[in-house]
Each structure stands twice: as structure tokens, then as C-alpha cells.
Structure 1
């Protein structure tokens, strides 16, 4: 991993991992409830099934999981998963005081992804 490119490894994992592996890793970083929220499902059972590979998330949820992992992976290069969980859920001044998790859940990943990644990079640089 290059120290000059923060988040490069997280990006590569987010793209190369199959979705079951990715959801499993994301669940370890963020917890099942937050992953369920990001994936727009009401039960953590769906997250467990996604991670086990017994159920496939909808295409839009997969795009959100890949984006969320890229962000979470980049942040955990410098911070503890508890800090990353709090960052995902807290109002973020760089995102008009909207929680990054809410933007990822409710927005088009292609549109909100660059904004959330920029906010994560700024947080990582300040930390």
C-alpha cells in the first residue's frame, strides 16, 4: 500500500472482492445494523445471508456496499472501527450536516460517492 495514496487498498478490495466477502468485511468494520441500514434492509439477518452468500443483495445495494467499504477501509487505515462507525453516523459539516451513511443509503452512489470520499479524506488528513 502506498502512503501517498490513502484509500488505494480499500478501493482495490472494494472492487475485487466478491460481494459476500465484502459484506462480511464491512460487517466487521461497521456492525450488522449499520450495514443493514446502508443496504436498505430492515433486518440484520439479510446482512448475514449476504455475507454467507446464501442471498444476493440487489444491484443498488451492492453499489452502496462497495462505496461504503471503500470509505470505511480508507478510514480504518488510521482510526479504530468505533471511530469509523461514529463518523458514518454523525452529522458531517462537509456534507451539509448529513450523516455519510444517510447519503450513501439515500443517494445515487455515483453522485454522492465523490462527496463522501472527499469528506472521509479530509477527516483522515485532519485526524
Structure 2
């Protein structure tokens, strides 16, 4: 079953066109936990479109299947944060995720992901992490 989840996740990476995949081999529940630790529960919930504050209750117990839209948001958020964090550190990655971004019509990456603009966020993170 774990192999089926990994295969399904790989399709999400391909859909996003992500060259550098920090999320490869990371379980969705671990991605959620990481984002909650780094961005907070409320912000993670907002990005994923979850209304209640305890995202971990819904996802981290027995995470077997995510809706395609939610999976794309999760992978995009995790990859973007990890790319920026690797290039600039955790404080800058957090600031980048919550700050206005000209690549996204001055929305923050958190807001853009919440609206489903996952590809734009990953592209902007890639450019930022490559060029600084």
C-alpha cells in the first residue's frame, strides 16, 4: 500500500512540473506536520482549504487518500517552503511564504496556494531559490 501512495504522489510531482522535489519520499502526513511546525496550524489549514484548526486530526492519523486538489496544494506548499529554506534558511522561507510576491500579483504564496495557483508558487520558489 505504501508503494501505491508513493506512485500516486509521483503523479502530483509530474503535474506540477517540479524539477527539484524535496517531497520525494516524504509521507503526506509528515509534509502536513512540517508545514504546521514551520508556518502554524491556521496558515497550513488555510492553504489546504481545511476549515477547522486541527489539520492533523483530519490528515495525520490515517492519511490514505487526498483529493487531487488538496494533494497539489500540499506538495506545492511543502516543496516551495523546502526550496526557499534550503537556499535562505527557515526565517526567510516563512517570510517568503507569507509576504506579498510580485510573481503572484502581490498575493502571498500562502494565499496563492489557497486559491489553487500551485504552479505559480513552485515556479516562483524555484526562481528565488536558484537566483536569490
Once the two structures are superposed, the pairs formed by residues 33-72 of structure 1 within 5 Å of their partners are: 33-45=42-54, 47-50=55-58, 52-54=60-62, 58-59=66-67, 60-72=69-81
Note the alpha carbon deviations across 1:63-119, whole angstroms, 9 max, x for none.
211111011111110223232222112111122212111111112xxxx33321221
When the two chains are superposed, the root-mean-square deviation of aligned CA atoms in Å is 2.4
Where structure 1 has 5 or more consecutive residues not aligned to the other structure, the ranges are 1-6
Question: 4+ residue runs of structure 1 moved beyond 4 angstroms?
Answer: 54-58
What TM-score does the superposition give when structure 2 sets the normalisation length?
A: 0.70
Note the alpha carbon deviations across 1:13-62, whole angstroms, 9 max, x for none.
424322212211222222222111111123321x2214532567851222
Name the counterpart of 1:73: 82
- Cα 1:77/1:115, change in 2 over 3 Å: same
Where structure 2 has 5 or more consecutive residues not aligned to the other structure, the ranges are 1-18
Is 1:104 matched up with 2:113? yes
What TM-score does the superposition give when structure 1 sets the normalisation length?
A: 0.72
- Cα 1:93/1:66, change in 2 over 3 Å: same
Distance 1:113 1:121 in 2: 12
Count of matched residue positions in the alignment of Structure 1 and Structure 2: 113
